[in-house]
Each structure stands twice: as C-alpha cells, then as structure tokens.
Amino acid sequence: MADGPAVLFVNLRRTRREQLESLLAARRLGYGIVMLAARVPDHLRPLLKELVIVDSFDGDRARAAARTLATRHDIRGVASWTESDVELVASIADMLGLPSMPVAAARKARNKFAMKQALSHIDGLVPRFALVRTGDELASAVESIGLPAVVKPTGASGSTGIFELHGPADLAPALAHLKRIARPEFDSVFRYFGAELIVEELVAGPEVSVEGFVCGGRVLVAGITDKWTTDPFHLEYQHVFPTRLPAEVRAAIDRMTGQVVLTLGLDNCAFHLETKITPDGFRFMEVGARAAGDYIASHLVPAASGIDFYGNVIRVATGQPLELTPKEQLYAGVRYVLAGRPGRLERLAGMEGAMEHPAFHHLFLEVPLGTEIKLPPDSFRLQRVAALIARDSDYQALTDLLDEAASSVRPLIGEVSVPV
C-alpha cells in the first residue's frame, strides 16, 4: 500500500480555479489524492497520486475501480464536488466503511421532486409542486398549482432548464425546449433522470443560499449568501457572502436549514441550500449535498471569513473535526459578466480599469476566447463569460463596485461591443 493517507476524489468541479482549490485543500491537510474521473486537465495530474479514468455514470464500474484503489492506498475519505456524483460518492464511502451519507438520502438530494416530497408534510415550507412528463400532465399540474409557475428538470443543476409559466400559451414552448434540453447529449447530468420535470408555483422574493455542513447528525452553518438572478431564466449572476439580513432573519433561516437537512437524512457532507424570503416566511427551493459552486465555497467564504470551506469538505469526508470559527469579518462577492447576444467571443474590453481597484483580487475567464457564445435557452453555460471577485469591509461599497466593474468589462462578440 502506498505511503501516507489519501482522499478519494470523484471528478472535479467544472471551473479551473475551483478544481485547483479543491486539490490544494486536500494537500494542505496532509492528504494525497487519488481520483476517479472521466477526464482531468493535464496541468492538474502532477497533484494526484493516482488517477483512474472511468465513466462515473457507470456506478458498478466506478465502485469496482474505487475498491481496487483502496487496496493500493490508505484512503481515509471520499469527497464529492459535483451535483451528479453525490449518490455515487455516498455509495463508495459506504462500501469502503468511511464516513458517508445514507445512499437513500443522497438520492433524495439529487432529485428536486423527491426532496420536496420528503418535506411536504412541513406546513408552509415548500411551494406547491407536481411531477410531470407529458403535455397533458403539465396542463393538469398548472391547473392545480396555478400561475405563475416554473417548470424545470428534476435532476438538473446550475440553473439549467428553468422556464417560467405565466399563461397557457407558455406551456407548449417550455415543454418543447425541455424535451430538447433534458437529454444526455445536451448535458451529461441528464443521464440520471432525463426529461422528468417538476412544476412548482413561482415564489416571489429575494433568494439566498445557506452554506454549511452536517456531520454525525449535527448541522453547522458557515453563513448565508445573497443571490441575484436574471429574468426569465434565473441564471445566477451575482453572489455576496455573508448576507446583510438582520440577525433574527438569519437565525430563522438557520433553524429552517437544520430542519430540512435532518428531515432529508443528509449526513457527513457539505450542503448548499437555497431558499426565498417572502412576506409569509421562508420557502424552500432546493438543497445540494455538496459544496456551493460559483466560487462561493472556494473563494467567497474564505475571503470574507477566513474559513477554509474546501478544507472542511475534506475534514467532513475523513471524519475529522471541522474548523468553522471566522477569522475575518469582511464581505466578498462574485459578479459574472454576461454576453448580451450570441456569437464568437473575441475578447473582453475594459478589464484594466476595473481591476485597478484594490478590492478586486480575481478576474476569471469562464469560457475561452474564440468560443461561440449561445444564450439561454440554447445554452445555460456560455452566457457568463467572466467572473469578477472582490471583497470589502462595507457591503454597499462592495455591491457598488461589482456593478461598476460589470458595466466597464464588456464582452466583444464579433468585434461588436455588447451591452451587459
């Protein structure tokens, strides 16, 4: 068996910097990294002790590969980074006798209908919802739920395939788009639940996400993130951590989060829970049994609080005590620069002026120059062409700065400046 303890990673997040930060987190804590993945960028391979290329959607083959790796390495935990791997990671950890989430709970966390069904007995928590697969079922569900409503795939992630329904004329176009989108050829995440859809009432109000962990049945909240999304496709374009909601509202969100996480049976994992704040209270949207993306866990939480969120992902996977005591009291935010029309991304203009401000410390290109940009509903991944990350001691100053930067950094599509 190879020297030194190791952590088994199953795939990596999509963005290059989140990938790197997850690997560095394990190394900071003294673990080598062995990995099962469909693909890994060449520049990251030197950070790994061993890599096995495997299709993680083939659960039996992935578990067999993990069992073989465990004969060659002292694996202390299995870490999950992507939405599609949550259930597989739970089954591998359980198979190896390592800290794990119950597989049944992981399955509920992967399916938006199943998780809402498990919470539907809690009065006023979840919006009205229904499972649909056909046009007739969609029409019947909307008649029961009422309008406005939204329809989306039960197993999607990253705001993929969210369609608003405001009148009967919206149903057929939304269903046609979803039948085209909810296929593995469009996004591999649909290899699990395909075109299974959920319809739910459209809940008005600001949306926040809760970042935290559950281990040994104990729910620990690291903080709450404010969120901004586009209309009508709900593409997330800005996050600020931590929220500036009043203390009593934060406490109520923490209580609701604990109830949801424990009711679903989540354990030994990070979580990213989304909820809306309405005049009638908090309405649950969904929860992921893994760390947040969009640089929230990798960059915003550490920059604002000093909490090593990815380090704690490794700790919870290996059964070690978490370290969630804040060392800083700042605000950190990410703002995505959005392309205003489809076409070939030539370059970004205005970067120099925006990045001169000392509060900015990252600008990440989200898609390579030369990419043919597509907008929703043709693509839900390509409109966000760059990410600007900054931090400040003042919430309003930070959001003003992000607004100014997003106005000055302009994607040039086919040599034509596109308004944000």
Asked if residue 216 lies in contact with residue 204, where contact means CB atoms within 8 angstroms, the answer is no
Residues 112 and 251 in one domain: yes
Residues 117 and 246 in one domain: yes
DSSP E strands in 166-243: the ranges are 197-201, 207-215, 218-229, 236-241
d(Cα 327, Cα 323) in Å, to the nearest integer?
11
Give the domain CATH number at 289.
3.30.470.20
Residues 283 and 306 in one domain: yes
- Polymer length of the chain: 420
Residues 296 and 239 in one domain: yes
Strands 32-37 and 5-10 come out as parallel
Give the pLDDT confidence score for residue 188 in this predicted structure: 72
d(Cα 151, Cα 162) in Å, to the nearest integer?
6
d(Cα 44, Cα 37) in Å, to the nearest integer?
12
Residues 168 and 37 in one domain: no
Give the pLDDT confidence score for residue 317 in this predicted structure: 98
Asked if residue 154 lies in contact with residue 193, where contact means CB atoms within 8 angstroms, the answer is yes
Residues 290 and 174 in one domain: no
Three-state DSSP at 67 gives helix
Helix (H) or strand (E) holding 139: helix 135-145
> Rounded to the nearest 5 degrees, what angle is found at the Cα of 158, between the Cα atoms of 317 and 228?
110
pLDDT above 60: residue 365:
yes
Three-state DSSP at 375 gives coil
Residues 218 and 299 in one domain: yes
Residues 274 and 380 in one domain: no
Give the domain CATH number at 415.
3.90.1170.50
Quick one: which of 349, 384, 389, 348 has its CA closest to 366?
A: 384
pLDDT above 60: residue 397:
yes
- In sequence order, the β-bridge partners of residue 249 are none
For 406-417, the pLDDT digits (tens) are 999 999 998 555
Where among 294, 329, 364 does a domain terminate?
329
Residues 259 and 112 in one domain: yes
Where among 173, 201, 229 does a domain terminate?
201
Mean pLDDT of 371-397: 95
For 192-250, the pLDDT digits (tens) are 677 789 999 999 999 999 999 999 999 999 999 999 999 999 999 999 999 999 999 99
Mean pLDDT of 92-118: 96
Give the pLDDT confidence score for residue 1 in this predicted structure: 63
Residues 275 and 349 in one domain: no
Threshold 0.85, pTM exceeds: yes
Q: Give me the number of domains the chain comprises.
A: 4
Where among 329, 361, 385 does a domain terminate?
329
Give the domain CATH number at 21.
3.40.50.20
Q: What are phi and psi of 112, to 5 degrees?
A: -65, -30
Give the pLDDT confidence score for residue 419 in this predicted structure: 52
Q: What are phi and psi of 90, to 5 degrees?
A: -60, -40
Structure tokens at 32: 């080598």
For 153-200, the pLDDT digits (tens) are 998 877 889 999 999 999 999 999 988 887 877 877 777 677 789 999
Give the domain CATH number at 149.
3.30.1490.20
Domain, as residue range, for 161: 128-201
Quick one: which of 339, 300, 315, 310 has its CA closest to 420?
A: 339
Three-state DSSP at 70 gives helix
Residues 186 and 297 in one domain: no
Q: How many CB atoms lie within 10 A of CB 46?
A: 6
Structure tokens at 313: 């992902």
Asked if residue 357 lies in contact with residue 390, where contact means CB atoms within 8 angstroms, the answer is yes
Residues 111 and 96 in one domain: no
